[in-house]
Structure 1
Amino acid sequence: MTSLSEASLLALFLETLFYGVFFTFYWLTLTILLKKYGIQRDLLLPVATLLLCIATAHLVIDLVRALEAFVFSVDTIAADTYYSDLASPLELAKTALYITQPTVADSVLVWRCYVLNNRSLLVGIPGCIVLLTNAAIGYYVVWSLSRAAAGSTVYTTAPWLITTFYTLTMLISIICSTLISWRIWRNRRSMSNRSARFRRFYTISILALLLAFLTGSNGQYPAMDIGPPIVGIVFCLIILQVHFHVGSNPQSNSSPKPFTNLSEERREHNVGYSMKPMTREAEIIQFDVMRSQRLSGDDC
Structure 2
Amino acid sequence: MGITLPEASLVALFLETLFYGVFFTLYWLTLVILLKKCGIQRDLLIPVATLLLCIATAHLIIDLIRALEAFVFSARTIGADAYYSNLASPLELAKTALYITQPTVADTVLVWRCYVLNNRSLLVGIPGCIVLLTNGAIGYYIVWCLSRAGVGSTVYTIAPGFITTFYALTMLISSLISWRIYHSRRCMSDNPTHLLPVLIVVIESGALYATTFLTGSNGQYPAMDIGPPVVGIVFCLIILQVHFHVSNNPRPSKSFTNPFGERGEQNVGHSMKLVIAHHQGDGDHSV
Normalising by the smaller structure, the TM-score range is 0.7 to 0.9
Structure 1 Cα separation of the partners of residues 30 and 221 of structure 2 = 29
Q: CA deviation at 1:288?
A: 11
1:19-48 per-residue CA deviation (whole Å, 9 max, x = no partner) reads 000000011111111111100000000000
* Structure 2 equivalent of residue 200 of structure 1: 200
1:142 Cα deviation (Å)?
0.2
Give the equivalent residue in structure 1 for 2:8: 7
RMSD: 2.4
1:170 paired to 2:155: no
The residue aligned with 2:61 is 60
Specify the alignment match of 1:121 in structure 2: 122
Give the aligned partner of residue 226 of structure 1: 226
**Which residue does 1:296 correspond to in 2?**
none
- Contact 1:242 1:279 (8 Å CA) reproduced: no
Letter in 1 for 2:216: G
Structure 2 CA distance, aligned partners of 1:164 and 1:282? 28
**Equivalent residue of 1:94, what SS?**
helix
1:293 is matched with none
| Alpha-carbon distance, 1:177 to partner | 1.3
Do 2:113 and 2:260's aligned partners in 1 also have CA atoms closer than 8 Å? no
- Offset at residue 194 of structure 1 (A): 2.6
AA at the equivalent of 2:222:
P
Q: Distance in 1 between matches of 2:177 and 2:11?
A: 32
Distance 2:261 2:107 in 1: 21
Equivalent residue number for residue 238 of structure 2: 238
Counterpart contact for 2:53–2:232, Cα < 8 Å: yes
The 5 A counterparts of 1:258-269 are: none
| CA-CA distance at 1:283 after TM superposition | 9.5
SS at the partner of 2:224? helix
The 3-state SS of whatever aligns with 2:119 is: coil
CA distance in 2, matches of 1:113, 1:153: 37
In structure 2, the residue corresponding to 1:245 is in which secondary structure?
helix
The answer to whether the 8 A contact 2:23-2:233 is kept is: yes
CA–CA distance in structure 2, aligned partners of residues 202 and 186 of structure 1 = 21
**Corresponding residue number in structure 1 for 2:160:** 159
Mapped contact 1:114–1:123 kept (Cα < 8 A): yes
1:113-152 to 2 correspondences below 5 Å = 113-152=114-153
Query: Is the alpha carbon distance of 1:121 and 1:9 closer, same or farther for their aligned partners in structure 2, counting shifts above 3 Å?
Result: same
Number of residues of Structure 1 aligned to a counterpart in Structure 2:
265
Query: Can you give the 5+ residue segments of structure 1 that lack an aligned partner in the other structure?
Result: 257-261, 270-277, 290-300
Pair 1:211-2:201 in alignment: no
Aligned counterparts of 1:287 and 1:3: Cα–Cα separation in 2: 53
Deviations 1:278-297 (Å, cap 9, x if unpaired)?
975269743899xxxxxxxx
Aligned partner of 2:73: which letter? Answer: F
For 2:265 and 2:259, the matched residues in 1 are separated by: 10
TM-score (norm. length: structure 2): 0.87
1: CA distance, partners of 2:48 / 2:4: 36
The equivalent of 1:69 in structure 2 is 70
User: Using the alignment, how far apart are the partners of 1:134 and 1:16 within structure 2?
Assistant: 27
- Name the residue aligned to 2:111: 110
In structure 2, the residue corresponding to 1:74 is in which secondary structure? coil
Question: What is the distance in 1 between the residues matched to 2:231 and 2:118?
Answer: 23
SS at match of 1:281: coil
Q: 1:33 and 2:10 equivalent? A: no
CA distance in 1, matches of 2:48, 2:22: 17
The 4+ residue runs of structure 1 with deviation greater than 3 A are 282-285
3-state secondary structure, aligned to 1:152: coil
Q: Cα–Cα, structure 1 residues 81 and 283, in superposed 2: closer, same or farther, change >3 Å? A: closer
- In 1, are the aligned partners of 2:194 and 2:245 still within 8 Å (CA)? no
TM-aligned CA distance change 1:237 to 1:78, over 3 Å: same
Q: Tell me which residue corresponds to 1:297.
A: none
Give the Cα–Cα distance (whole angstroms) in 1 for the partners of residues 145 and 72 of structure 2: 29
Segments of structure 2 that go 5 or more residues without pairing to the other structure are 267-287
Supply the distance in 1 between the matched residues of 2:265 and 2:157 (Cα, whole angstroms): 49
| Structure 2 contact 175–202 (Cα < 8 Å) conserved | no
**Cα offset for 1:197?**
2.6
Q: Secondary structure at the match of 2:217?
A: coil
Same amino acid, percent of matched pairs: 69
Equivalent residues of 1:115, 1:285 under 8 A apart: no
* Contact 1:29–1:239, Cα closer than 8 Å, also in 2: yes
